[in-house]
Structure 1
Amino acid sequence: MAQQQYDESSFRVLKGLEPVRERPGMYTRTDSPCHMIQEVIDNAADEALGGFAKNLHVLVLRDGSITVTDDGRGIPVGLHPEEKIPVVVLAYTALHAGGKFDKKSGNSAYAFSGGLHGVGVAVTTALSLRVEVEVRREGKIYEIAFANGGREIGQINEVGSCGKQTGTRVKVWPDGKYFDSPKVPMNELERLLRSKAVLLPGVRVYLEVEQADGSFTKQDWRYQEGLPGYLREITSGADAVVPIYAAEKYAGDDEDFAPGEGAAWAFGWFDGVQLGESYVNLIPTVAGGTHESGLRGGVFEAVKSFIEHHSLLPKGVKLQQEDVCGKMSYVLSARILDPQFQGQVKEKLNSREAVKLVSSMLLHPFEAWLNQNAEHGKAIAELAIKQAQSRLKDAQKIEKRKSSGVAVLPGKLADCESENIADNELYLVEGDSAGGSAKLARERETQAILPLRGKVQNSWEIDPNRLFANAEIHDVSVAIGVDPHTPQAADSVLANLRYGKVIIMADADVDGSHIQTLLLTLFLRHFPKLVEAGHVYIALPPLYRVDVPAQGKKRPARRLYALDDGELQSIRDRLAKEGFREDQLEIGRFKGLGEMQPAQLRETAMDRATRRVLPVTMDQDAVAETDKLFDLLMGKGEASGRRAWMELKGNLVEADL
């Protein structure tokens, strides 16, 4: 392979909106344009949150354009005092610019907003064919357009007068080449707009969608009652154990939090229903976060205090948070000065102080409500105590079955439905996040998932009698139905084997290779018959994803996967021969299995028709040599020998252990 040049010219600086166009997945979701449109909607909602807008209108046309209109103050069009560029231009073309940064000094245009990084609506411009902005402000109407992903910036034109009307209208044409699907999913857009109406009591939110025949469907939402009305709607049909408890509380000047920080909530317990939605500064946090932890913590402490005050807890029962909150349905809206989110798409709140903020705001009002409504408090207490007793009973069953010698399958094992051992497969996956993706991606009939917490212990020198002291090794042994044994054991040791294939599935990076090595060490040392009989496999999930645009009608868009840098370069070379330029390809690097969409994980590592899985075989003529090598690599007393071996041969070895 030709040696590549590496000098000063090898470095490239991405300017303006170019980083967004090069790596859109770092800034927004790329399954559809929904999130980039949400950035525009969030700006309008922030105006309503500040009390400046009463109406929010979204129009979806057949040409793929989406228009968002509000009757807020209208974005400023004058020159920025330092940058000497119109503020509306900065907002739509400059990363890390906006009216949401200078919060603590009191000069921010938005004290509470979902915007944090200042990249929101600029991302919309970068990934759009065209963006048109109309501003009604100070009695005048202004227009400006941005085209070709923000590369072309039009002039600000005054086009009329508007009297006392104010507001902003933004029309966006998303560029389909950046998304798996060029259309915004209507059900997701409807949920988003309905949630804005829920969180902004009294604000009317409209959605108009153009149909194939040119007519329009119209919907609008307005919740005067706010959160409790919404919770009642989404849990309709379920019997309430107690009435919905709804309240809100925000910090004053004399509290530990910034003035105005706090939360509004509505929650209750319903038969057979458990739903939860949360928001931060009107932004939906679909993956939850620290504010939800604060809600659960406050509810648990209040209920626990009520139970102790009324001496309701039976002897020997100890309450846990899940006993109280496990079947609770809730809607939570937190207001936080500087929210810290996980990633630009803001699906999960990471702000540590949000736990204390929400729990402290909720605790005393809910405690007062419980004591003022003792019959409702006792109903909640009875539900929690029953849940705790059921949990303790299950734990006792497991202990009893263990003591009688009957193996109990690990609770975190998602087992398959088939009883045909030859077809059944067990995937050993690192972590709950990757395990969750794998559970969604699997074929439930024949594929089981066992998530492992962290790296399995190095078992090369562990005494077989002490193996089960490690919970992860215990769970692996119980799940596969095989006890630890020696190479001399009879073949009957596999009589209770529950899966024809045991597949190690780890991330495609160095850490993942280490986990593979530790699991292979376990099987080779303590389950050698499993390896010898050909039941152990290694899945090869990809490290890179390459999105290839369509070439005319005959060549639709494709998605390719690469295991490593070498395979990625081969794909690049092949696509270059097909006529694709480098800037036409979108290349994403998977951080791990938990980052992969279930459909991607299924296609690359779990679907029998498309996955790449390697069998682990044992050469009977090289058993002694293999043991010697594992002694060197995994033995605790071989550190000096390992170092000498790595210095001598580390640059030559291509072992895939």
Structure 2
Amino acid sequence: MSYSAEQFTVLKGLEPVKLRPGMYTRTTCPTHVIQEVIDNAADEALAGQATRIDVTVCEDGSVIVEDNGRGIPVGIPPGESRPAAELAFTTLHAGGKFDKTDVESAYRFSGGLHGVGVAVTNALSQRVEVEIKTRDPQGSGNGRYRLVFTQGDVSEALTRLEDCGPRTHGTRVQVWPDGQYFDSAKINIRELTHLLRAKAILLPGLQVSLTLPEQEPLVWKYSEGLAEYLAGIVADIELATPIFAGASYQDGDSNGFAKGEGAGWALCWINGAAPNPETYVNLIPTLDGGTHESGFRAGVFEAVRSFMEHHSLVPAKLKLVQDDVTGKMALVLSARVLDPQFQGQTKDKLTSRDAHKLMAQTVRDPLELWLNSHPGAGKAIADLAIQNAQARTRAAQKIERKKGSGLATLPGKLTDCESEDIQRNELFLVEGDSAGGSAKAARDKEYQALLPLRGKVLNTWEVDADQIFKNQEVHNMAVALGIEAHGFQADPDRVLAGLRYGKIMILSDADVDGSHIQVLILTLFLRHFPALLQRGHVFVVKPPLYRVDTTWRGKARKIYCEAEAERDAAIDRLRTEGVKESAISVQRFKGLGEMNPDQLWETSMCPDTRSLVPLSMTAADQAALHTRFSLLMAKQSAGGRREWMERDGWTADIDI
């Protein structure tokens, strides 16, 4: 196939916009093409030439935007053959907002940059009617002019209709968007309302109205500007600080910035999740933020960090980052940048590099002064920053339970069973490796699995779920069981779907240390695996502490006893039966490891002869159990534990 100059096509006029509308506007709905017209009216207000913007949504789907600014120029620019008003609507990159160096420029801080805004509106509309009231270029006084476009082309040339008074001026644009270019032909009223209200807020004294079909007009006019607006946003949110509103602009060309550049802002800190920030550049909403927002946050961070360091509020070894300070900050920011650079024609994100430095410099000193004048607010911000930093540090140290498939995931110390019958399978959590050796030899390998625990398990009552797997023994238990950590409100069916054993047996020595290990394991289950208790999967095995042996009249007998009282009762019973004292011997087991496999099987593992204490929990038990375990296991409850032991300690049956 040949390739030559004949294959080249040059798109003329508004053809590029019609061919690729997504390059120039958001194509979900026509709201943005209407915004282009509104932004032109707002630029007049920003320049101090308009005091009113009125928007009307008509029943036929068209939208009227009217302002009382100076009116689009109707004269013919040098070197052109058509009026400026016609060029603005039909030619890409034509307009009066390019010159940012002239201090007297009509649009020095406008949002218009590329001269394509209303040209895009015209290109993607069935019809556009423009009415202009402005000074006649020939100097014959003010006049009313009319200009009409159809499918982007001039259908009625610019015509002077009549004279008007010297104080009568402004622009009226009515747009009928073309639905073929949009996913939906309807204007997003919620977005339009938000945009217009924001214009009124950002320009105190400007009156903005919105009229919808068969409804009374909505009118906005703010005297307090950003502070009043932010107060409305956070009206139903618990504030950690009062609102701090301010503004700072360059009073001359200095520090590499031009006169008039700077920002106005309103901010506060929230107890909880902060609302999404609202940021603007030269009245243009930047939905995706950009360098002005990041620079502003950097300035806030520097000011707060300086305040905290000056008042020694930063804990040792805690490193603050920007998001620790600004993560819970509610913000409305209106920046003025001389020559802003945006990402795309929709201007959703500012990319001007200098804006970062400008904003950081603009806010730092005023905020630091405010913090030192409001030390209570500064302390509240510092507390939030420290909490965020500590949470971030914990999250960075989060230990995930190792995952995989099949036997490869199981901990090395686990001696698994052969059966796949979950209801029948039993997992023994055994204290110590030596006891594990005896239990391994004693178990029924068909359905009894074994996991030795080394030392005492971590007290997990005050350990976050994302930190418990840092402890190897806890990690091994979770992997062996096949479940993840969960809370009281979790659905048991869901969280126990991977459970590998129907019975979980806690097997520890029958002494104080063994009891402590039982409590630590139960603390883990209650705090992080409560569904095991809710469904009755947990049991405590009661191994004997004593063994009483006797041989009388040629018959050997052995009696296992769990405690001293049971031992003494067994001895008394033998004496009653006539057994001589010399024929009775008592053995005290120091631990499970001292038992022979047959003894361990008979006393602790055989279903027919072992003694089990089932542990279960109902919803009604949760509150009482939580209170009791908080008293027993929480670090801050040391005083309460001492008081409890002094009051009720005598009731405990302790073998020391």
Q: CA deviation at 1:118?
A: 0.8
Q: CA RMSD in A?
A: 2.1
Rounded Cα–Cα distance in structure 2 between residues aligned with 1:368 and 1:407 = 52
Task: In structure 2, list runs of 5 or more residues that go unmatched.
Answer: 136-141, 405-478, 483-496, 499-656
How many Å separate the matches in 1 of 2:166 and 2:315?
Answer: 70
Structure-to-structure mapping, 1:391-410, within 5 angstroms: 391-396=392-397, 398=398, 401=399, 406=402
Deviations 1:233-252 (A, max 9, x none): 01111121111111011112
1:68-107 map, 5 Å: 68-106=65-103
1:258 matched to which residue of 2?
258
| Correspondence for 2:579 | none
- The aligned length equals 401
Contact residue 63 and residue 175 of structure 2 kept, 8 A: yes
**Aligned-residue offset at 1:392:** 2.0
Aligned identity (percent) is 55
Equivalent residues in 2 for 1:410-449 (5 A)? none
The answer as to 2:185 corresponding to 1:188 is: no
Quote the offset at 1:351 in angstroms.
0.6
Match in the other structure for 1:296: 297
After superposition, the C-alpha distances for 1:511-543 in whole angstroms (9 at most, x for unaligned) are: xxxxxxxxxxxxxxxxxxxxxxxxxxxxxxxxx
Aligned ranges 1:130-529 → 2 under 5 Å:
130-138=127-135, 139-150=142-153, 152=155, 154-210=157-213, 215-256=214-255, 257-275=257-275, 276-396=277-397, 398=398, 401=399, 406=402
Letter in 2 for 1:172: V
Which piece of structure 1 moves more, 81-90 or 157-166? 157-166
Rg: which structure is higher? 2
| Maintained 8 Å contact 1:238/1:273 | no
Which residue of 2 is the match for residue 419 of structure 1? none
**Matched-pair contact (CA < 8 Å) for 1:142–1:160:** no
Amino acid at match of 2:293: E
Q: What one-letter code is carried by the residue in structure 2 that aligns with 1:372? A: S
Q: 1:155 offset after TM fit, Å?
A: 3.3
2:118 to 118, 121, 125: 121
Runs of 4+ deviating beyond 4 Å = 405-408
Q: 1:28 maps to which residue?
A: 25
Q: Please give the alpha-carbon distance, in whole angstroms, between the structure 1 residues aligned to 2:111 and 2:235.
A: 30
Instruction: Please report how far the alpha carbon of residue 7 of structure 1 lies from its aligned counterpart in structure 2 after TM superposition.
Output: 2.0
TM-fit CA distance, 1:153 = 5.1
**Distance between the aligned counterparts of 1:263 and 1:123, measured in 2?**
29
Q: Distance in 2 between matches of 1:62 and 1:359?
A: 46
Q: CA deviation at 1:390?
A: 2.2
In structure 1, how many angstroms separate the alpha carbons of the residues matched to 2:352 and 2:253?
Answer: 22
Alignment of 1:4-83 (within 5 A): 5-83=2-80
- Change in Cα spacing, 1:129 to 1:50, as seen in structure 2 (3 Å) is same
Amino acid at match of 1:223: Y
Distance 1:187 1:304 in 2: 38
Deviations 1:331-357 (A, max 9, x none): 001100111101100011111111100
Q: Distance in 2 between matches of 1:158 and 1:371?
A: 62
Output the TM-score relative to the length of structure 2.
Answer: 0.59
Separation in 2, partners of 1:153, 1:127: 18
CA drift at 1:156? 2.1
* Counterpart contact for 2:258–2:338, Cα < 8 Å: yes
> 2:113 and 2:249 mapped to 1: Cα distance?
21
Letter aligned with residue 327 of structure 2: G
Provide the residue aligned with 2:525 in structure 1.
none
Is the contact made by 1:141 and 1:162 (CA closer than 8 Å) also made in structure 2?
Answer: no
* Residues in 1 aligned to 2:105 and 2:9: alpha-carbon distance in whole angstroms: 34
SS of the equivalent of 2:330 reads strand
Distance 1:155 1:373, change over 3 A: closer
CA–CA distance in structure 2, aligned partners of residues 106 and 87 of structure 1: 22
CA contact (8 A) 1:235 1:273 kept: no
Q: CA deviation at 1:151?
A: 5.3
The amino acid that maps onto 1:346 is K
1:312-332 Cα shifts (integer Å, max 9, x gaps): 111111111111001111000
TM-score by length of 1: 0.59
CA distance in 2, matches of 1:84, 1:337: 31
Secondary structure, aligned partner of 1:105: coil
| Alpha-carbon displacement from aligned partner over 1:198-238 (angstroms, at most 9, x marks no partner) | 1111111100011xxxx333211111110111111011111
Q: Is the 8 A contact 1:144 1:157 kept in 2?
A: no
Contact 2:148 2:154 (C-alpha < 8 Å) held by counterparts: no
The structural deviation recorded for 1:407 is 6.0
